[in-house]
Amino acid sequence: MAQRLHMRMTSHDDVGAVLWPAAAVLSRWLVAHPQVLSGRDVLEIGAGMGLTGIVAAGQARRAVLSDFNWAVLCNLRRNIALNGGELCFEPAVATSKEGAEDEGAGQVDASSGDAGVGDGATRSGAAASGGAEGSAGRSNALRDGLVDAQWLDWDALPGSESPRTASCPADFDDASSGRFDAVIATDMVISLSDCRGVARVCATCLRAGGFAVFAVAPPDVRFGTEHLGPALEAAGLAVTKQTVAPRFAVSGGGEAAAATGGGYEARIVMYCAVKPPAEA
């Protein structure tokens, strides 16, 4: 469930008021591949309505849904609550081990729909988190208080060419202080500077050996997405990309279709970026 945010999009900061098609695509993909985030600490950036992060929270050990816009953050909290989430963290209790080498792990292929997220991504995530410790009840993460909405300013992170001076709202925590096994996002960039911001998030917030999974519209639909891969590589991450399998595509009208022209859901591109492991 999600509560709509009735807000006119007048600037870059307002795009979180729309549920973009890539959010539904990555959410469907995660449901089909629950082992990818199982037992891991996950950060969603540019969370917007929070669909993908809420899906991730049902699989992960802990999930933080982040955004920069205060109105979007408040709506994120409402949507977390609508889905049974508490607004604080509690220790996760693992009742079973789901090794990262489960059947299909390490073979993530977005184009075929087979389990995995690219060669080695699940293995890297397992190394970062000390193994994929999950539980049979991990789908109850929202009820267990393992998901929160937090503020994150990409331009306040190390390496920004023009750092902003905005401060975290008093009623939200700053996500940049956390370290995560995985970063996820959908349709979060519309410019080269955005892509560099995403790369800074990965460099700053990912643990060594961690990975990121992104789903974005093709460059002819959304400006800037052609710069995402190069920006991630420039930050030292190993990057692969694929077009999603047709079975994960969504169709139909709505705000996103009206805003973008629609018709591109079957061409959404998934990126996997892996941060190098720590040096021995």
Where are the domains positioned within the chain? 13-101+108-274
Q: What are the start-end ranges of the E strands in the chain?
A: 41-44, 62-67, 96-97, 107-109, 114-119, 133-134, 147-151, 180-186, 206-216, 238-243, 269-274
pLDDT of residue 166: 77
Q: Output the six-digit token pair for 5.
A: 């945010």
pLDDT of residue 82: 87
Query: For the residues 183-205, what does the mean pLDDT come to?
Result: 96
Three-state secondary-structure class, residue 2: coil
pLDDT-above-90 percentage for the chain: 47
Whole-angstrom Cα distance, residue 92 to residue 42? 13
Cβ(184)–Cβ(26) below 8 Å: yes
Q: What confidence tens digit (pLDDT) does each residue in 57-99 have? A: 999 999 999 999 999 999 999 999 888 765 444 433 333 333 3
* Stated pTM of the model: 0.77
Buried b (16+ CB within 10 A) or exposed e, 236-263: ebbbbbbebbeebbbeeeeebbeebeee
Band of residue 4 on the pLDDT scale cut at 50, 70, 90:
low
Whole-angstrom Cα distance, residue 171 to residue 243? 39
Three-state secondary-structure class, residue 19: coil
Whole-angstrom Cα distance, residue 69 to residue 151? 8
Cβ(62)–Cβ(92) below 8 Å: yes
Cβ(148)–Cβ(81) below 8 Å: no
* CATH number attached to the domain at 13-101+108-274: 3.40.50.150
Query: For the residues 164-177, what does the mean pLDDT come to?
Result: 85
pLDDT of residue 146: 84
Cβ(99)–Cβ(131) below 8 Å: yes
Residue spans of alpha helices (H) in 175-269:
192-205, 228-234, 255-260
Cβ(202)–Cβ(212) below 8 Å: yes
Band of residue 111 on the pLDDT scale cut at 50, 70, 90:
low
Q: What confidence tens digit (pLDDT) does each residue in 18-35 have? A: 678 899 999 999 999 999
Residue 227's contacts (CB-CB under 8 Å, 6 or more residues apart) are 189, 191, 192, 195, 196
Q: What confidence tens digit (pLDDT) does each residue in 216-266 have? A: 998 888 888 999 999 999 999 999 999 888 788 766 555 545 444 455 666
pLDDT of residue 36: 97
Q: Give which of 153, 160, 196 is closest to 177, Cα–Cα.
A: 153
pLDDT of residue 160: 87
